[in-house]
Every structure is written in structure tokens, then in C-alpha cells.
Amino acid sequence: MPNRSFGQRKHRGGLVTAIVVICVLLLCSRYIASTLIDYSWWSSVGHLGAWINLWLYRTLPVAIAAILFFIAFWIAFKRGIRRELETPHFGFLRNPVFTRIATAVLALIAIAAANATVNSWTVIRFFGGVQVPVSKSEYVDPIFHKTLHFYFFSLPFYNLLLHMVLTSAILALVLYWVSANVENIVRRLTPVYPRTRFEFEELSFGNVLRTRFVRLAGVIFLIGLAVKLYFNRFNLLSVDHGPFLVGVNWVSAHVTLPLIWLMIFGAVAAAVLIMTRYARWALALLIILPIRFIVPSVVEAVYVHPNELALERPYIQDHIDGTRSAYGLTGHITERTFEAEPEMPIDYAKHKNLLDNVRLWDWRAFHDTIAQIQPLRPYIYVDTDVDRYMIDGELRQVMISPRELDLSQLGSAANNWVNPHLMYTHGYGLVMAEANRITPDGLPQLFIQDAPVEVTTKSLQVSQPEIYYGENTPDSPPIEPIFVNTKQPEFNYPSGSQSVYTEHKGTGGIKVSPLLRLAAAIKYGDPNIVLTDYLTRQSRMMIHRTITNRLRTLAGFLRLDPDPYMVVTQSGHLVWMIDCYMTSDSYPFSRGTYLGYNRQINYIRNSIKATVDAYTGEVNLYVFDPNDILVQAYWKLFPHLFKPESAMPPDLRAHARYPEALFSIEANIYRTYHMRDPEAFYNRADLWDIAKVASSPNSPGSLLQPTYVVATLPDDNQPEFMLIIPFTPAHKDNLIAYMAARCDGAHLGQIVVEQLSKKNIIFGPRQIEARINQDRNIAKDLALWNQQGSRVLRGQILVLPIDNSFLYIQPIYIQAAQASMPQLRKVALAMGNRLVFADTYEEALTELIASLKGEAPPKQTGAPAPVQVETVKTAAAPPGSAQAVKTLTQIRDHLEQYRKFSAQGKWAEAGKELDAIQKLVQK
């Protein structure tokens, strides 16, 4: 009988154990499934070691902190219980069950406190930073003489440790008091002892607070507070004192810092008094607090304000130097004076490459147009980017728009599980057009188009047009994940009434196994992944297909540029490029700004350029700024995650560019911080604005956006791809300077600022637009087009430096009211007082060049072809020739029809009239 009883108990114990194990597995199944998929994904991208390191870096600091918190809390609990056991008490205090429950509660509190106080990235950066040697050229603050290593790595880590110490001291005191009064607390909360209210007065406060443990905890707290006050001194380097100063000012240096030292002395003295049992005397030191916060304000008002510039001059200088250094405006920037002329003759042969690459297509008009002339269901054009390619041996500026999948075009069919997961899996191809080539119908001249992909130049090829990874690729449930190499062919593109299908032939994604299918079904809550018969042993699962999500998963410490762009490689592959930043908000004396809608920063470097293969999803991170100490720290932590700039393939390196988001931040900072003299900076004597544009006379104006152009810098005849933005004096519209960020070859990352001398007044973009608006002939044509079932769209005005002057270009589009398909119909060119308005860029440029050379009188602005026709007629036929008169009459008839059709928005018919005129002119 005893053996049977023992066997029954053993059987029951085994059953209970099995039930517990099953319950734990069910509760943790989502976590286990996610971990398995993460492991497989990191293995597939070739960075399993980085994943393990990342997991350790994130987990170990919190685990160590939780252990330390638990030790402190356990000591406080045991000390309190020991005190409670000295008096009559309930028996449960000695019960092992009570001890186990208390231990579990303390462990949960410790884990919660560790997660609340420990920032793993702060710890990670610290241990990465200590491996990076301090450079001799590293910035050193002029007040405390600390390097960037201290502010970026050490100070945040020390503050984290202090936060832990102060938190543990406070919580330990609370736990000690609770455990020392546990009997009274339980008695008052137990129904066996009914009370009308909870009486705090009967609990032991005074006796508990006089114990040695409490005194020791109080001393630790005060010493920690003193250390925290010591480190808080460095926060003065980031205090905003208004538009002329961020950082330490005169009051901070001469009043606030001594008072902080006084508070540190007070905290240490209070700790000594508490340790020597004179705690009441420690309270007298609280008088320091009102002194600390009242005296600086009084000194500021009474002494500093009347003598502000004289006293703050050296600190303003520190602020200027710190801000320029933080935004990279000291190392890779060239500043020089530009002796500009309002107008000068243009040598077309000398500037052929520049003038032939003028971007006539505004990206917004181009985007709307290709959506109409290159529609392909179910794909959309998410974005349009500007880039440059060597085409037929010449540098050409192009517009690129990839086609990405838009499942919403499937309607209710998108709810069919097979369609979004197995059939409609990718985008297809792209549209590429030369930025300055226009068809006779006013439409883009395309290099790459259609499906299947058609390439109209031998300089380009597209061998792998499918886009599995993109800007707008769905990568969240219920769309994620997708599966390729299945029994279901993948839709590629429509062809007449049929559809063309494909099969993924790459190694992108995770190889599917039965265990992985089960894990995916659990993680995504989708049983179809297990139940479907379409998957085979060769099938692969793709996740994290949005390129920004993919990069954040791989390297969450990077700040990503909001504008990825696509590159067509020499082998015909499609590869995404995206700029990545290292940022901080801890740079001394630096003015803060914002990158997107995220937190404020005051330091930024474009340290990384990432590439993502649109077909396989392969990710590469290339270090373009190895001098950035932040990227150096992460490179030490994840040595196999990064590659040097030299490892980037040449056909990708040729398309690296200066990012527009960074350039906009630097331009906004530079418009103020080009003033290096503290007095001029304080008085805003030479404040600039980013140039504004206004498309109508009553418009308040908007800031001109940075523009990618192919241009040449003064004293340089080689055209190059650059990002440019003009400046005007504050509250004025004439041009005062321009900033150009170079993008090609070894010049990538260099900034050139050309400040105009004040000898000549150079028109700014807004003044040029005002002249266009005020021209009667132009205004008449634009008003007429706006009233004939069409709408006039005006592209952003371009400002191009050419020799010692500036050329202004504004393309003008007409869009029918029935369809969003802008067509380029007019081009306005201006230089100085010369303004021309013609049907084509070539006509306008020819007339402007002739006008500037004085070879012909300036053409009547807004008058279309008659003047040109008259010129051709005079040169082609002698006066009185009957044939010439007949030809002229025919030209005028066709011209009248052209005007008629243009006013009605019938652009095809109008184009035919222009062709007829051209044939007559050539006779």
C-alpha cells in the first residue's frame, strides 16, 4: 500500500509538472516564436553575431542593475523585519512562505526599477566609447576643459549610475519602513481588527528614522545627491539664454557655479551631520536652496543686463564656435567672396554641360505626369528623386521614380490570403527621364519605361526589375510575411488581357521549414501559414521589407534620412541608397534643432550611407565619416556590421550624394552663424534668410527648398552634381550668398559658400518671380490658360551660378482640369534685367544669349513665335519675294491655330501646329 501511494503521488507530481511546463510554453509561445524568427532573420542577413551582441548589450545592463537593486532591497527588508521581530508580532513573519512571497515581490520591484532607470544604449555607448582613443583635434569645451568623449559617453553613464543609487536609496528606505511596520500595517488592513480609518499616527516613524540603517541610507542618498549636483554643473553648457547664447553665460560662470559648489558642500555637510546624529541641524542647510535660485536672477537683472554685450562677449564667442563645430561648419566648409555681376554674356560652348543639364522638370509635376503616362496596375509611384548618370559619355541629370506595389488597387481581392502573401509580392521597374528633355507634346523624354522594361539608351540596363524591398512595401500584419518560390506564381505585370508571372530566383528572405512555419503562424497569429499547401522546401519567407524598418531592425542606433533613393547599377540591379546620421543632444554650447519630428539634437554627422538591394534585401552599411567618434564607438561594438567607404562598389559610389535633410539643417544654422564676431552676432548686424519664393503677387512667400543641380562653381569649368540654396539679407529679397554642397567623387561632403560683395545688387528668386508676375504679356497668357479648362503650375525657380553671375530658370506647366497630367509649355529665363519667356528652353536660352551679347534687341516678353518667325523670314528670303510672303502667311495661320488649341488645352493638336511651323521655317 505505501508503494502504491508513493507511485500515485509520483504520477500526480509528474502530471502537475507536465501541466506547468505546457502552460509556461503556451504563455511564452509568442516570445519563443519571435526569438526563433529573429534568429533566422539575422542569420539570413549575415549578422547573427551582431544580433547576439545586441541582445547581450541590451540585457546584461538591466540584469546587473536588477541584481544590485534586489540586494539593496533585500538588505532593507531583512533589517526592517529584524527590528519588527524584537516586538510582539504575528507568527507569519517567521513563516517560510511569507519569506518566499516577500522575495518574489522584491525581485519584481527590482526588475521594474532596473527597467525604469537603465537605458541600455547609454551603457552600450559608454563601453564602446572607452575603446575609442581621444583625438588631438577633438573638441574641448572652454569652461570645464572636457572632451566630447566625456559628454557623449562618460557623463550620461555616470548620471545613469547616480540615478540608480538615488532610486535604490529612496526605495530601500520605503521598504525598510514598510517591513519595520508590517505588523501594524497588517493589523489595520485586516478585517479582524476593524477600524474607522487608517491611523498613520500610530505607526513608527520617529524610531524607525533614528536607526543606523536609515542613517546609512540617508548618507548614501546625500552623497549621491552631492555627486549629482557636481555633474549637473555640466548641464549649464546646454542652457538656452535666448537668440544670442546657448551654454554658460557670465552669471553661470561667476554666480551659479559657486552656488552649486555651495549646495554640494551643504549636501556633504548634511550627510556628516546625519551620520553623527545631528540630523536636525542638517535641515538648516536647506536655506541654501532659495539663495541658489534667487541670487542669479537678481544679479542678471541688476548687473548683467545693463552691460550685457561687454560681459557676455567671450561666452558668445564660445557659443558661435561650439555651434559651428557641432554641425560640421568648420572642417569641410570653404567660405569666400564672390564678385558677382548682375548680368554678363553667356558662353554656350564653355558652359554647354551646365546649360544642357538644366532641370526643367519640377519633381512634383514630373511625379503627376508619369502617373498618367506610365500607369501600371497595381503599382504606384511613391516618390521621385533626382540623380545623375553618365549617359553616352556625358553627365546627365535624371528623374527617377520606382514602381511599388499598392495592394489597395486590388479592392476586395486584397483580402484573399493568397494574393498579398503569395501572388502580389513585389513592385516592378521604374521610370527614368532626363531632367531637361521634353517631347513636342510637353511630356518627359524617358530613358527607362514600360513593362516589360524598355531602355532607350545603351548606357543603362535593367536586368532585375522586381522590387521586393522598397519605401512603401507593406511589412506589417496582416500583409507580413510574404512567401516566394512557392507553387503559386508571382504576378509581375499586366500584358494586354493577360498577366505575366515570375518566380524569385535569389537568396533573399528566410528558408522555410516546418518549425519556422509554426513559429510564423504563432507570431503573426495567422494559421494559414501552417495550413496552406502552396509552400515547398524551396520556399522563402520575407519580412522587414520596408527599407527604413529593415535598417532600424538591423541598426536601431542610426537616425535615418527621410528620403531614400534608387540607383540602377551597371549590371542592371536596383539598389536603394539611404543616408544615416549619428546625432546627439549633448554638444557643449551648441544651438539645438530638429531632425524631422523627433527629439531635439545639437550635433549631427552623415557618418553612414546604407544600401539595400531591392531584390534580395541585402544590407550594407558604409562608413563615410570615420572621424565621427559616435560611429567609431559603434564600430568597436559591432565590428562586422560596418564597412569602410572604400568597400562600396564604384557604380554605387558614383551615386552617393549630400543629403537634403542635413543640408537644410546646416543652411538654417549657417544663415546666423556665418557671423563670427560676437558684437555682430549679438546685434544681428548681418543676419541672413534662406531665399523665399512666391508664385503670386499676394503670396506671403515660402522658403526655397534646396535643389540638386548640375552646375559649376566660380573658377571651375568642370560641371558637377551639387545641392544648392541661396540666401538673402534678413527681411530683404536681393541675393547675398549661396551655399553649395558638392556630391561627386572626392569632393563629396564639401560645402562651398560664396558670399556676394555688396558692390552690386543681385536679384533674388522672389524678385525674379515678381518680375514674371508683373510682366503684362506673361500675366495675360497665364490668366488665359487658367480660364480655359486648364490650370497653370509653376515649378520651383532654379538659381544657377554661371561665371560671375546667376541664371534663373522657372518652368511653367499647364494641367487640364480633367486629369492631373502637367505638361511643360513655357520656360522663363532671367539674368539681371533680362527676362525671356518662350515655348521651349532652347528658344528661351537662344534669345537670352543673343540679348546678353547685344546681337539682337531683347525679345518682347511673352510674345511667342512671331518675332522668331520674322527673324527667320528676313534671313531666308529677300524683301518682296512672293514665296516668302506666302510662307509667312502660312506660318501666321498655323500660329493662330496653335494659340487657339493651347487656350483650349488641346495639346496634341497644338503640337501638330508647331511641327507645321517648324517645317515651314526650315524651307
Q: What is the DSSP code (8-state) at residue 591?
A: P
Q: Is the dihedral of CA 543, 549, 550, 555 positive or negative?
A: negative
Place of cell 495639346: 907
Return the percentage of the chain with pLDDT > 90, whole number: 40
For residue 222, pLDDT over 50 is answered with yes
Q: How many residues does the chain have?
A: 923
32 contact partners, CB below 8 Å, separation of at least 6: 25, 519
Q: Which amino acid is at 560?
A: L
User: Measuring CA to CA, how many Å separate 205 from each of 176, 180, 211, 222?
Assistant: 11, 10, 10, 20
Residue 610 confidence class, pLDDT cut points 50, 70, 90? very high
Angular region, 139: left φ>0, alpha ψ -120 to 50, beta rest: beta
For residue 791, pLDDT over 60 is answered with yes
Mean pLDDT over the full length of the chain: 83
For residue 151, pLDDT over 90 is answered with yes
Q: Which residues pair with 246 in a beta bridge?
A: 240
Q: Residue 541: what pLDDT?
A: 94
* Residues 725-749, mean pLDDT to the nearest whole number: 92
Cα–Cα distance, 172 to 219 (Å, whole number) = 13
Q: Residue 653: what pLDDT?
A: 95
For residue 599, pLDDT over 50 is answered with yes
Q: What is the pLDDT of residues 524-569, one digit of tens each?
A: 888 999 999 999 989 999 999 999 999 999 998 999 999 999 999 9
Per-residue HEC secondary structure of 659-673 comes to: CHHHHHHHHHHHHHH
Q: What is the pLDDT of residues 432-457, one digit of tens each?
A: 999 888 888 788 889 999 889 999 99
Q: At what angle do helices 882-904 and 776-786 cross, to 10 degrees?
A: 50
Element (H, E) at 103: helix 96-117
Place of cell 509561445: 29
- Going by C-alpha positions, the residue among 544, 421, 406 that lies closest to residue 475 is 544
Q: Residue 876: what pLDDT?
A: 36
For residue 834, give the 3-state DSSP assignment.
strand
- Going by C-alpha positions, the residue among 762, 766, 746 that lies closest to residue 754 is 762
Q: Residue 867: what pLDDT?
A: 30
Q: Residue 860: what pLDDT?
A: 45
Instruction: Select, from the ranges 631-635, 755-759, 891-895, the one with the highest average predicted confidence (pLDDT).
Output: 631-635
Q: For residue 575, with 0-12 CB atoms within 10 Å meaning exposed, 13-18 middle and 19 or more buried, which class applies?
A: buried
* Residues 162-177, mean pLDDT to the nearest whole number: 86
705 — phi, psi (to 5°)? -85, 145
DSSP symbols for 286-305: GGHHHHHHHHHHHHIIIIIG
- Going by C-alpha positions, the residue among 858, 853, 886, 852 that lies closest to residue 871 is 858
- Going by C-alpha positions, the residue among 612, 620, 609 that lies closest to residue 545 is 612
Q: What is the pLDDT of residues 47-98, one digit of tens each?
A: 998 999 888 888 899 999 999 999 988 888 887 777 655 555 555 556 677 7
Q: Residue 880: what pLDDT?
A: 40
Cα–Cα distance, 309 to 49 (Å, whole number) = 56
Cα–Cα distance, 624 to 642 (Å, whole number) = 10
Residue 793 confidence class, pLDDT cut points 50, 70, 90? confident
The C-alpha cell that represents 285 in the structure block: 542647510
For residue 769, pLDDT over 70 is answered with yes
For residue 361, pLDDT over 50 is answered with yes
Return the percentage of the chain with pLDDT > 70, whole number: 81
Provide the whole-model pTM: 0.85
Contact yes or no for 250/305 (Cβ under 8 A): no
- Going by C-alpha positions, the residue among 880, 851, 739, 742 that lies closest to residue 799 is 739
Q: Residue 881: what pLDDT?
A: 45
User: Measuring CA to CA, how many Å separate 183 from each of 77, 89, 210, 830, 839?
Assistant: 14, 6, 19, 90, 94
Task: Establish how many alpha carbons lie within 13 A of residue 429's alpha carbon, considering only the half-sphere containing its beta carbon.
Answer: 22
CB atoms within 10 A of CB 307: 10
Alpha helices (H) along 411-506 = 418
Cα–Cα distance, 613 to 463 (Å, whole number) = 13
The C-alpha cell that represents 671 in the structure block: 544663415
CA angle, 146 as apex, 141 and 151 as ends, to 5°?
A: 95
The C-alpha cell that represents 904 in the structure block: 483650349
Q: Residue 647: what pLDDT?
A: 95
Cα–Cα distance, 104 to 108 (Å, whole number) = 6
Cα 71 from chain centre: 43
Place of cell 539674368: 831
Q: Which residues pair with 805 in a beta bridge?
A: 802
Interior/surface letters 798-812, b for 16+ CB within 10 angstroms, e for the rest: bbbbbbebbbbbbbb
Residue 387 confidence class, pLDDT cut points 50, 70, 90? very high
Q: What is the pLDDT of residues 807-844, one digit of tens each?
A: 999 998 888 766 677 888 889 999 988 899 888 888 88
Task: Establish how many alpha carbons lie within 13 A of residue 358's alpha carbon, considering only the half-sphere containing its beta carbon.
Answer: 28
Q: What is the pLDDT of residues 446-492, one digit of tens each?
A: 999 988 999 999 999 999 999 999 998 766 666 789 999 999 999 99
Residue 612 confidence class, pLDDT cut points 50, 70, 90? very high
Contact yes or no for 690/733 (Cβ under 8 A): no
